[in-house]
Structure formats: C-alpha cells, structure tokens
A and B are shown apart, each in its own frame.
Chain A
Amino acid sequence: EVHLLESGGTLVQPGGSLRLSCAASGFTFSSYALAWVRQAPGKGLEWVSGIRNSGGNSGGNTYYADSVKGRFTISRDNSENTLYLQMNSLRAEDTAIYYCARLLGGSAASRPLDCWGQGTLVTVSS
C-alpha cells in the first residue's frame, strides 16, 4: 500500500526557516515525480512545488509557485525514499497544512496527484 508521511511542521517566527520531510513507502519512490501542496486554514488548495525523478539519488527538474519561488527549495533523497521542502524567509501567509503527494503514473510532470499524505501543519507567527 502506498503511504506518504509528512513531518516537520511546527510554529515558527516570521523570517524563520523550516524543513519538511515526507517519508514514502509502498512504491518505487525513485520512479515517480512528487509535489507539495498546501492549504491555509479554511481555504483551498495551492500547488507549491514539484520535482521530477531522474537517475541517481537526488532527483530531476524542480518547479515552484511564484508565491514561494526563491524562498522554498524542493529536493528528494531516492536512497532514503524521502521528499523534502526547505522553507526560508517564512511569512504569515505561508501558514498552512502542507501535503506531499505523488504524481500519477510515474515520471512525467503533467499529471494529477493520485496519492496524498495526511499533511503537516506549519504556523508562522510571532
């Protein structure tokens, strides 16, 4: 069974940094593109970042929403079956549940999200 488990969410001050992790199991991690999607409290879904697979341990092309470009960095460790999101210069508007998700069908970027974790809550507040 496919399983994605996010961790690392916590309360952080504005301007601070945080790294989220997503541990994957139940599928060939290195063969799939992955993404982070966030949901502010009581709001809708926002696609944040994506990463394709590639040969080797560290993944391929990366993509970002304009709202996080230059502040967030997505990465993956295929040897550890783990996806990461490094979040710097955090703002109050980054407060949200952050979900990691797998793209349907493998390595292509233009695919929907077929498996989701339960999410981890990031709160940016002083």
Chain B
Amino acid sequence: DIVMTQSPDSLAVSLGERATVNCKSSQSLLYSSNNKNYLAWYQQKPGQPPKLLIYWASTRESGVPDRFSGGGSGTDFTLTISSLQAEDVAVYYCQQYYGAPPYTFGQGTKLEIK
C-alpha cells in the first residue's frame, strides 16, 4: 500500500498569515498517460465529516475559497492557505487515489490560530 506522510502534525498560524501543510507519498502519484497527480486534500472540522477541498493535486472543488491552493507533483505535495481565516481551523488530510485501492490517507495536520 502507498504510505502518505504529512508534516507537521500540528501547526499554529496567525490570522491573515500563510499556512502550509506538506504531504509525501511512498511512491509517485503522477500517472504519465494523463499527466495527473492522484492526490486530494480534505478539511475536517470537529464533529463534521471531511470536506473535499482539492483534487488532482491542484484543482479546487466547487465552492472552495481561492485562498486554498494545492501544489506539487510526483511524491511531494503542499496545501497552502494564503491568508488564514478563523473558519479554517480544522484538521487537514491528504489522500492518494492512484491505481487500485486502498486509497490511503495521511495522518492529518491540525491547524490552529496562534
């Protein structure tokens, strides 16, 4: 199975500042035939199910604010929040969906306000 490792485990950022979460996969998630990275990002707030933010590593889901952006390719990916808002406090997960299941998640990164 592909192992997904996020860093850091927790992060405290001031309101209005940039927050960056990293995700590393144990094998490349780039499918050469379509040049797509099979990597998604989710946001989970307390007591709620996860919400899809980003897929194909950099495509924002409909309705997601443009302060959220995804980058990276191959085995190294980032989720960036350009200007942290209070409502962005949550746990963020990356997930690979490359090839056959299981489609593993990272361990999560808890984002708080400094």
Residues of A within 8 A of B (CB): 35, 37, 44-47, 50, 63-66, 99, 101, 104, 109-114, 116-119
Contact = CB atoms under 8 A, between A and B. Distances in A.
A104 B99 CA distance: 15
Interface residues of B, number: 26
Main secondary structure of the interface of A (DSSP, over half): strand
Interface in B4-52: 38, 40, 42, 44, 48-52
A38 B91 CA distance: 15
Interface string B71-114: 00000000000000000000001010111111111111000000
Contacts of A119: 49
B49 A99 contact: yes
B38 A110 contact: yes
A44 B105 contact: yes
A63 B97 CA distance: 13
A99 B95 CA distance: 15
B39 to A, nearest CB: 9
Contact of B49 (A66, A110, A111, A116): A116
B52 A112 contact: yes
29 contacts: A37-B50, A44-B93, A44-B108, A45-B105, A45-B108, A46-B105, A47-B101, A47-B102, A47-B103, A47-B104, A47-B105, A50-B101, A50-B103, A99-B49, A110-B97, A110-B98, A110-B99, A110-B103, A112-B40, A112-B52, A112-B55, A112-B95, A113-B42, A113-B95, A114-B55, A114-B61, A116-B50, A116-B51, A118-B49
Main secondary structure of the interface of B (DSSP, over half): loop
Contacts of A65: 101-102
Contacts of B49: 99, 101, 116-119
Interface of B: 1, 38, 40, 42, 44, 48-52, 55, 61, 93, 95, 97-108
A57 B106 CA distance: 34
Contacts of A113: 40, 42, 50, 52, 95
Contacts of A47: 95, 101-105
Contacts of A50: 101, 103
